[in-house]
Structure 1
């Protein structure tokens, strides 16, 4: 006679049921997180410009990449547009947070900067007005940003920073340096903040490289080391007469060595040497 197998205890059945429920919940959570990541990435890419303004003597290029692990998406942006006076405005920035809310807020900041730039051309004033606008909205998020104005008549660049990481400037004679001009607090933190403006005449050919901290910072790479690496990359690329697109790609490749857990953006302006005042560009359409 075959011995009967002992009946499974009620506690064992309960345990299996609980494990099944937890597994199903975990799968739902993973699917929900994946959906949020996909939505954030879609929002991010839809909100970034398809093209950047350029003109004879000025090349522009940009790169964006999501975080290496695909979870931290939604905060970084770049932008470029023709301002009301015919100059070119460029912005790059990073919103606090890495989710759908950050992606949506990024869109608000980017469009807010464009709207403010319709009435103001001074980069410091653009950032100050955008800051007050964001403070008035009452969101808990904030954004770091660099706003740069390219003057095609004076052949000069004016820039202001709101808590953002410094950029890099290279010239044709081999000089390369961090652009660590004084700045103000991130946008959306305190009303009435002032943002100093730095102005540079472009008497030599060269490039400005603006970036977000995802390019230079990683789990084991401090910002200082990442910045030093980017300076070396920019110096080498400039010496090889790289185009703006090539330079943006080289800098973004440097981000891969950080194993970045944040998304990353790079914006490059490569210019010829100035030769006195130039004719103004046609008005924006």
Structure 2
């Protein structure tokens, strides 16, 4: 162990560099230890307060040799030492000493000969300044080591960035493939569900004296099925029966509910039950089997020869009667739907359609896409008037498109149009 007191930064640097050379520390480690000790002692030495350096060569707990450098500072300087910011952090003690323990290279001179050399080198460096050329050479060596390390790190950084870019590219490509595959599966799933739902919907109905058309759109492409459903068929006496159902909820469950209700209504209508009793009777039949069934519905009987119309309602939006002269009327009938308290239609409304009159049946998704349903009904009247001259086949889709433009929320939407023709008119013919 050797201790030396220093009064100038230059003398301290030369001594530390001499000790590092004696112990054959790599140039990079040598630069770190020289910079760390000189920065730690700078405040004291620049203020004219000497510091003491003690060098010790000892074996660590793991048996490996290491160089211990202990720098003792004046008391007033030891309180502000921050070792974490140094190139090689040391351990600050309470007595004003900062200690560095540096592992020594394995390939070096025997311990017995190195310690005297280190002592002599330290004393010589302190007593006589090293030549300028030698100092420059050592500084250049240390600089080359630092630059080489920086180059290695930069090269490793470039390689890591390249590997990361390739990894990200691969992950992105895989993500795109998964997204495309997921989209294909969603579309296939949607097509399958839509095909199944279309298969469950009634076939087109062709009746002399009537033009009929329907439009359906789900709340989202993600759920191509919904609770809005319709049914139409001809009764034995030639009367056309139309059912509009809006089951609670969305998706397959609501579709099942709507199908259950429409099938029950069809059975009751074909059995001859009066229109005014069918809503209540449907609830009476279904309630024992499924207490969760809840749906609004509207039932229409229309005589294609005379235009006589009867309408029953269970909590459903009113039908719109748009006459050929442009006047409009909502056919209001109070009632409560299937699954509601006291289900049934309170009365049966009767009226007569004139030649080229339109009857528009729909679900609430058409008029309640905005905050005010009454405002939606007013828009429906103006929209139907604007497009009433279009072919009947186009009418429901065009009206739905205009009504849902700028909708505040999405819902299943169903629109069904019936245009009455006098018996002398060819079915499906639109004047003008």
- Give the TM interval when normalised to the shorter protein: 0.7 to 0.9
Distance in 2 between the 1:39 and 1:105 partners?
19
In structure 2, do the counterparts of structure 1 residues 243 and 38 end up closer, same or farther at CA, with 3 Å as the change threshold? closer
- Name the structure 1 match of 2:203: 50
- Name the structure 1 match of 2:259: 107
Distance in 1 between the 2:252 and 2:356 partners?
40
**Of Structure 1 and Structure 2, which has the larger fraction of its residues in helix?**
2
TM-score, normalised via structure 1 length: 0.75
In structure 2, do the counterparts of structure 1 residues 191 and 222 end up closer, same or farther at CA, with 3 Å as the change threshold? closer
Q: How many residues align?
A: 246
Question: Structure 1 residue 237: deviation in Å?
Answer: 2.1
- 2:302 and 2:308 in contact (8 A); partners too: yes
223, 230, 235: which one aligns with 2:373: 223
330, 337, 340: which one aligns with 1:186: 337
Distance in 1 between the 2:278 and 2:237 partners?
14
Alignment of 1:131-150 (within 5 A): 131-150=283-302
In structure 2, do the counterparts of structure 1 residues 69 and 146 end up closer, same or farther at CA, with 3 Å as the change threshold? same
- 1:135 and 1:191 in contact (8 A); partners too: no
- 1:77 and 1:265 in contact (8 A); partners too: yes
Please list the CA deviations of residues 61-89 of structure 1 after superposition, one character each: whole Å capped at 9, or x if unmatched: 11111114534842001111011322110
| Secondary structure of residue in 2 paired with 1:215 | coil
- Name the structure 1 match of 2:309: 157
- 1:84 and 1:119 in contact (8 A); partners too: no
Distance in 1 between the 2:314 and 2:394 partners?
27
- 1:65 and 1:265 in contact (8 A); partners too: yes
Distance in 2 between the 1:49 and 1:204 partners?
26
- 1:243 and 1:270 in contact (8 A); partners too: no
- 2:313 and 2:335 in contact (8 A); partners too: yes
| Secondary structure of residue in 2 paired with 1:213 | coil
- 2:319 and 2:360 in contact (8 A); partners too: yes
TM-score, normalised via structure 2 length: 0.51
Distance in 1 between the 2:304 and 2:348 partners?
18
Question: Structure 1 residue 148: deviation in Å?
Answer: 0.3
- Name the structure 1 match of 2:127: none
Question: Structure 1 residue 152: deviation in Å?
Answer: 3.2
Matched, 1:235 2:385: yes
| Secondary structure of residue in 2 paired with 1:214 | coil
Matched, 1:250 2:398: yes
- Name the structure 2 match of 1:78: 230
- Name the structure 1 match of 2:134: none
- 2:320 and 2:328 in contact (8 A); partners too: yes
- Name the structure 2 match of 1:122: 274
321, 328, 340: which one aligns with 1:169: 321
Highest relative contact order (Cα 8 Å, sep 6+), 1 or 2? 1
Distance in 1 between the 2:314 and 2:190 partners?
27
| Secondary structure of residue in 1 paired with 2:233 | strand
Structure 2 residues without counterparts, runs of 5 or longer: 1-148, 154-178, 425-432
| Secondary structure of residue in 2 paired with 1:236 | helix
Alignment of 1:18-29 (within 5 A): none
What is the RMSD computed on CA atoms of the aligned residues? Answer: 3.0
| Secondary structure of residue in 1 paired with 2:311 | strand
